[in-house]
């Protein structure tokens, strides 16, 4: 079957005149075969093609080929042989039968039985019709496949190693993309063939793109370090090609690569720096064999925390989430991942399922972190040793438009969880914070800094400072917080937004051309949180050495170029994607910082620093929080902003209050006042 397919592909690739010559030769052979078979049917014995037998053979060829040409049979395309082709064949065979029968049956030729003049045209009709139908069956599907493949996007694979070879094999019959060659840096491979495809030097990429019409480049270099991948990306971005990649070696350890493994560029590739490598001991120290709680477990950071925690096999993992759908999603994912990992370990899924309850228990819990009674019930029932507090409102504009709820959730949610943890003997309480807490210009950043101050004050105060009821005094809880920059790939990240805008043809929206941010990936952030919590001694603020901040417009431009497109601007008015500057949003600032002071101290992790920053003692902070709570309950936004400004060092709110409720209430009051004025007039 493969041989026939290969022969068909080669036949389709032949020039048209050569293909017509082959068909003429085929029909001539069928004429000879038909005469030979006609003699057998007449005489009951096979005869050799010599003597008198040559006369009907030569006559058949001399009559059939001109008639076939005259009636247009060779203008019909074999692979499309249908009713029109059959009608042309019928006309040709009528003319042929009349001519051949007149010669050998009506008039007669010495040495040739007259019945041959009738039998041979019927046999020839069967042979020629069968050849056309066979060609349709044999070549028709191949031609359609060829047309389909020629219409597919063409791709070059960068990397002619094992991963590249496996990828080319997996994509040989892909309905989505067609591989037309390889690129590789090894000059010993240049000019060679791999899986029948040529290997080109990357320096010839422009020529190869013109020759092959390739529009995509698939990176198959999973073992290359980050700096090498960035060198390749910088080389490719000068050409209008879409760049996609394979996962790392750990993801293809099975030795098999499939088309589904090809994906858009990793966010790590867009960052252009090596991710922070975790310390395995720090990851496991507060998790393995223990009961661990994650609040906000269905969010971007919370869900990744759960995935990382599960790898270290806790005894119990408590998932606390206010969103029912988000909680269901992360519970199903984690249970599936755990069962799969255990089945991979011993190859027996049923045995793994039996062992499941004895190894790790995943408990989904619907709860609001602001509900202190509910949180107390949960911690009292399971007594977690470590709590990772990721529940928070983090979207800057939304919190700016809903400041009272932002304060309630981010500050009192943290306070409620921290005090409950303290009462129930939690050993480690880790707050997920943000770089926006440093000299904030928005409510979200100010609330996160105030949440940090709450934990710092609780860490300094005596255990059980707000203990209520008859609970026994518990061991001191170690409070720490982890501050990091923007997380790429999260629900509010610019990367998925930019990708969708580029996919839709633009424009790509930017709030300001000079805006910069620190970036990290979700797994990197989650690992940092876990490791920092393991190093906490009480009241610590951990920050990551994240290198240089990234200019958002440069990130967007890199994404456009690696999608095979160009930016439309003054220097390139014919570009593909336009950038649209929308202006800074409420509470947004151009630059972010990680430290309030200038006194970071090193830790045992080379990329994690520790800062001891100024905060109010618990007695003083508690009084100020009571005043702030009254303003929050009354939704007195100007008072909320004023009190946050007094509490949080460096907080500079924007000039206007943009709280939706406050603005609507002010507008309503103005309309009522105007109405009363008109009534009085």
Per-range mean pLDDT, top range of 92-101, 350-359, 370-379, 485-494: 370-379
* Strand spans (E) along 322-367: 361-366
Over its C-alpha atoms, the chain yields an Rg (Å, rounded) of: 38
pLDDT in tens, 247-271: 544 444 344 444 444 555 655 565 5
**Which tokens belong to 508?**
């790509």
Task: Read off the pLDDT of residues 654-669 as tens digits, 9 standing for 90 and up.
Answer: 778 888 898 888 888 7
Q: What pLDDT score was predicted for residue 323?
A: 95
84: pLDDT strictly greater than 90? no
Q: How far apart are CA 404 and CA 399, in angstroms?
A: 8
The pLDDT of residue 385 is: 95
Q: What is the mean pLDDT of residues 379-387?
A: 96
- Could you give the maximum distance between any two Cα atoms of the chain, in Å? 130
What's the distance, Cα to Cα, between the start and end of the chain in Å? 97
Q: What tokens were used for 397?
A: 């504009």
648: left (phi over 0), alpha (psi -120 to 50) or beta: beta
Residue 289 falls in which region: left (phi positive, over 0), alpha (psi -120 to 50) or beta: left
**Joined tokens for residue 350:** 């049923």
DSSP string for 56-114 = HHHHHHHHHHHHHHHTTTTTS-GGG-SHHHHHHHHHHHHHHHHHHHIIIIII-BTTB-T
Comparing 283 with 318, the larger pLDDT belongs to 318
Which residues are identified as catalytic?
436
Share the mean pLDDT of the chain.
80
Please state the separation of Cα 271 from the chain's center in Å: 16
Distance CA 275, CA 544 (A): 11
- In this predicted model, what pLDDT tens digit does every residue of 284-294 receive, in sequence order? 888 999 999 99
Number of residues that make up the chain? 681
pLDDT in tens, 156-205: 888 888 888 887 877 776 666 788 899 998 888 898 888 788 999 988 88
Give 539-598 pLDDT, tens digit per residue: 888 887 666 778 888 888 888 877 778 888 888 888 888 999 988 777 676 766 655 555
Q: What is the pLDDT of residue 466?
A: 42
The predicted pLDDT at position 196 comes to 80
Residue 601's CB is within 10 A of a number of other CB atoms, namely 9
Interior angle at CA 246, CA 241 and CA 251, nearest 5:
170
pLDDT higher than 50, residue 471:
no
Peptide bond between residue 507 and the one before it cis (omega within 30 degrees of 0): yes
Q: What is the pLDDT of residue 344?
A: 60
């Amino acid at each position: 079957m493969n041989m026939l397919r290969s022969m068909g592909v080669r036949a389709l690739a032949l020039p048209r005149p050569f293909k017509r010559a082959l068909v003429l030769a085929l029909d001539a052979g069928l004429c000879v075969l038909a005469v030979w078979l006609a003699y057998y049917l007449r005489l009951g014995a096979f005869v050799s093609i010599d003597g008198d037998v040559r006369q009907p053979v030569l006559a058949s060829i001399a009559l059939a080929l001109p008639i076939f040409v005259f009636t247009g049979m060779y203008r019909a395309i074999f692979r499309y042989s249908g009713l029109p082709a059959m009608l042309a064949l019928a006309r040709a065979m009528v003319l042929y039968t009349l001519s051949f029968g007149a010669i050998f049956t009506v008039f007669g030729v010495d040495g040739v039985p007259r019945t041959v003049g009738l039998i041979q045209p019927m046999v020839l009709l069967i042979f020629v019709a069968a050849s056309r139908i066979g060609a349709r069956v044999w070549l028709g599907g191949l031609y359609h496949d060829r047309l389909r493949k020629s219409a597919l996007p063409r791709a070059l694979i960068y990397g002619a190693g094992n991963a590249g070879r496996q990828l080319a094999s997996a994509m040989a019959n892909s309905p989505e993309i067609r591989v037309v060659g390889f690129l590789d840096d090894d000059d010993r491979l240049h000019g060679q063939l791999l899986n029948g495809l040529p290997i080109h030097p990357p320096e010839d990429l422009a020529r190869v793109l013109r020759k092959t019409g390739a529009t995509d480049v698939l990176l198959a270099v999973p073992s290359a370090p980050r700096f090498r991948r960035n060198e390749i990306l910088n080389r490719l971005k000068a050409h209008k090609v879409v760049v996609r990649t394979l996962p790392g070696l750990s993801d293809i350890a099975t030795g098999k690569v499939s088309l589904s493994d090809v994906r858009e560029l990793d966010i790590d590739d867009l960052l252009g720096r090596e991710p922070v490598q975790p310390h395995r001991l720090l990851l496991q120290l507060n998790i393995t064999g223990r009961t661990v709680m994650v609040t906000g477990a269905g969010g971007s950071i919370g869900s990744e925390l759960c995935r990382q925690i599960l790898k270290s096999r806790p005894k119990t993992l408590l998932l606390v989430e206010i969103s029912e759908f988000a909680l269901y999603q992360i519970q199903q994912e984690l249970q599936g991942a755990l069962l799969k990992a255990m089945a991979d370990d011993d190859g027996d899924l049923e045995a793994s399922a039996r062992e499941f309850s004895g190894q790790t228990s995943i408990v989904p819990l619907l709860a609001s972190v602001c509900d202190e009674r509910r949180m107390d019930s949960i911690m009292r029932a399971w007594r977690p040793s470590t709590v990772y507090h990721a529940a928070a409102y983090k979207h800057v504009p939304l919190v700016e438009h809903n400041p009272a709820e932002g304060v309630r959730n981010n500050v009192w949610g943290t306070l409620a969880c921290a005090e409950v943890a303290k009462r129930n003997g939690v050993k480690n309480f880790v707050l997920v914070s943000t770089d926006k807490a440093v000299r904030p210009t928005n409510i979200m950043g100010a609330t996160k800094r105030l949440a940090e101050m709450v934990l710092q004050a609780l860490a300094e105060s005596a255990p059980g400072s707000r203990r209520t009821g008859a609970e026994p005094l518990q061991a001191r809880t170690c409070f720490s917080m982890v501050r990091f920059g923007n997380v790429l790939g999260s629900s509010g990240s610019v990367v998925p937004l930019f990708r969708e805008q580029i996919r839709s043809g633009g424009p790509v929206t930017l709030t300001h051309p000079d805006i910069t941010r620190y970036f990290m990936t979700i797994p990197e952030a989650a690992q940092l949180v876990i490791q920092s919590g393991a190093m906490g001694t009480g009241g610590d603020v951990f920050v990551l050495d994240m290198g240089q901040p990234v200019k958002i417009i440069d990130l967007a431009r890199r994404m456009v170029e690696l999608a095979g497109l160009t930016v439309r601007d003054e220097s390139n008015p014919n570009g593909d994607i336009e950038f649209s500057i929308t202006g800074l949003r409420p509470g947004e600032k151009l630059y972010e910082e990680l430290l309030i002071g200038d006194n970071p101290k090193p830790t045992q992790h080379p990329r994690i620093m520790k800062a001891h920053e100024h905060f109010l003692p618990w007695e003083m902070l508690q009084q100020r929080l009571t005043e702030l709570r009254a303003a929050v309950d009354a939704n007195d936004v100007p008072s909320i902003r004023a009190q946050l400004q007094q509490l949080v060092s460096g907080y500079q709110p924007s000039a206007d209050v943009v709280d939706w409720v406050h603005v609507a209430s002010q507008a309503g009051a103005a309309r009522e006042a105007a109405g009363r004025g008109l009534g009085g007039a």
